[in-house]
Structure 1
Amino acid sequence: MSESVPQSGASFYESVGGHETFVKLIDVFYDGIAHDPELRPMYPEPELDGAKHRLMTFLEQYWGGPTTYGQERGHPRLRMRHVPYAVTPRARDLWLRHMRTALDAVALPPMYDQAFWDYLERAAHAMVNAPDPQGGTSLPIRPA
C-alpha cells in the first residue's frame, strides 16, 4: 500500500492502492478461512478460488473500483446469498476476526482503515440469520 496522498477526486479504491491492495486483503482473509474448522465448511467449493473472486470483485466495486461483480453477478443481494448458511453471531465474530487480520496486513492509513472496518462490521452484523446453538457470547475480534 502506497503512503502517497490521494489525488483529488480519486476513489477510495484508488486511494488505498487499487487491485493489489484488494488481492492481498482477500488472500490473507481466505488463508485464515482455509484453516478455520468452524468457517471452512460454509465454503462448499473444494478450492476457495471462486469465493475469493466473488468477495474481491464485490469489495472492489463497492469501494469504487471495477464493476466486474455487477457484470458477472448482478445486484449483490447479500442477505439472500447468505440464507443457505447458518450465520450465527459466533460465525460473524470469526469472520470479522479473519477480516481484521487481513485488514491489518494491508496496513491502510487510519482514515481508510476505519472506514473499511466500519463497513465490514455493519455488513457482518447484517448477515446474521441464526442464533448460536449454545447461546454463546461475542468473541473478541483481536485475539488476546
Structure 2
Amino acid sequence: MSEAVQEITMFERLGGVAVIDRLVEAFYDRMDRLPEAEGIRAMHPDDLAPIRQVLKRYLTEWTGGPALYTPEKGHPRLRQRHLGFPIGDAERDAWLLCMRGALDETVADAAAREAIYATLAKLADWMRNTAGNPHDAGHRPGA
C-alpha cells in the first residue's frame, strides 16, 4: 500500500513564523544601518513597525504558511503597489543586499536559503520601474 507523501512548504523549510519574524527584523535592521541602503530606506516612513508587520504577513503566506496577508490586503499586486517609488538597478541591488544578509543570518537550511533568495532576486528584477527596465510600460522590443 502506498502512503501519501506530504510536501514540505518553503515556510516550513525556512523555519516557520519564528524565522520569518527574525528574517524581516534582520532585513529592516540592515536597511536602517547599511550605507548602501540609504536610498531605499528614504522611501519608507520613519516608523518601520507597520511595514515590518506587512512584510511578515506577506512572506508567511507567500512561502506557504497561513494566509495572513490576502485577507487584510487582497491580492499583493506588488509591482502596482510600488509604482510610486523609482526602483532601478541600485534600489534592487540595495534591497537584495539587505535580504541576502538577513537570510544568511536567520535561515539555517542552506538549500532553502538559496532557493528563496533566487526567487526573491527574480521578483526584485521584476519590480524595477525606471527607464531602461524591460518591464516598463513604455518599453517595446525593437523600438
> TM-score normalised by the shorter chain: which range applies?
0.7 to 0.9
For residues 8 and 110 of structure 1, the distance between their equivalents in structure 2, rounded to whole angstroms, comes to: 21
Which secondary structure does the structure 2 equivalent of 1:46 belong to? coil
Structure 2 residue aligned with 1:94 = 94
* Number of equivalent positions: 125
Q: TM-score, normalised by structure 2?
A: 0.81
Deviation at 1:8, TM superposition (A): 4.2
User: What is the identity, as a one-letter code, of the residue corresponding to 1:12?
Assistant: M
**Which of 22, 25, 30 is the matching residue for 1:24?**
22
Is 1:81 the counterpart of 2:87 in the alignment?
no
Equivalent-residue separation in structure 2 for 1:63 and 1:37 (angstroms): 28
2:66 is matched with 66
One-letter identity of the residue aligned with 1:40: R
Show CA shifts across 1:92-129 (max 9, x none): 00110000000000133222112101111001000000
Q: Contact 1:89–1:131 at 8 Å: present in 2 too? A: no
What 5-or-longer segments of structure 2 have no aligned partner? 133-143
Please name the residue that 2:103 is paired with. 103
The equivalent of 1:120 in structure 2 is: 120
Tell me the C-alpha RMSD between the 2 structures.
1.7
Amino acid aligned to 2:108: L
Supply the distance in 1 between the matched residues of 2:95 and 2:49 (Cα, whole angstroms): 17
Structure 1 gap ranges (5+): 1-6, 133-144
Q: CA deviation at 1:131?
A: 4.2
TM-score (norm 1): 0.80
- Aligned-partner Cα distance in 2 for 1:108–1:122: 22
CA contact under 8 A between 1:24 and 1:106: conserved in structure 2? yes
Alignment partners' CA distance in 1, 2:125 and 2:102: 18
Percent of aligned pairs with the same amino acid: 31
Bigger CA radius of gyration: 2
Letter in 1 for 2:52: K
Please state whether the residue corresponding to 2:122 is helix, strand or coil.
helix
